[in-house]
Structures are given as C-alpha cells and as structure tokens.
Amino acid sequence: MRIIDSIPHESMTISIFHMNDKYQVRFEAGPMEQIFKFLAEDVKSVENLKTKINSEFIETTRKRFNEMFVQMRDMDL
C-alpha cells in the first residue's frame, strides 16, 4: 500500500492510499482513525475521489470522531 495523495485539513490528517484495485481514504485524529475503502473501478481517478470527499463528508467524519472520543473516554479501564 502506498500513499498517493492527501487532503489538507486543520484538525485531521486525511491520506489517500492505493492498493489492489482499491483506494483507501484514512482519516486520523488523535489516537483514532477511520478508513473508507472504494473500488478503483467505481471511483475512476484520484481526482474524482477527492471531489467526493467534500466538506459535508469530512464534517460527518469529524462528528463521528467526536462520538468515538466520548465512547473511548467513558470506558471503564
């Protein structure tokens, strides 16, 4: 797997990987990550994929990180 591009963001690292006819978009925030996998044949190109990862998609992902953080914080370790 190799990183082929990234999407700038102020509070998350967003990396795009390509491996075995799939694109993976990895969002990282603190100790958590979310990965979305897309078939290359569905996406067509990295540029097309980047248009799909729009501000609404990113905001929904950020909100999910907040939920994940609360869940992790509330664990009884």
Q: For the chain, list the domains and their CATH numbers.
A: 2-73 (3.30.67)
For tokens 């939920």, the residue is: 67
- Quick check: 13 and 6 in contact, CB under 8 A? yes
- Quick check: 16 and 4 in contact, CB under 8 A? yes
Q: Which tens digits make up the pLDDT trace of 1-38? A: 789 999 999 999 999 999 999 999 999 998 899 999 99
Name the residue type at position 33: E
- Quick check: 29 and 22 in contact, CB under 8 A? no
pTM: 0.90
The answer for 6, left when phi > 0, alpha when psi is -120 to 50, beta otherwise, is beta
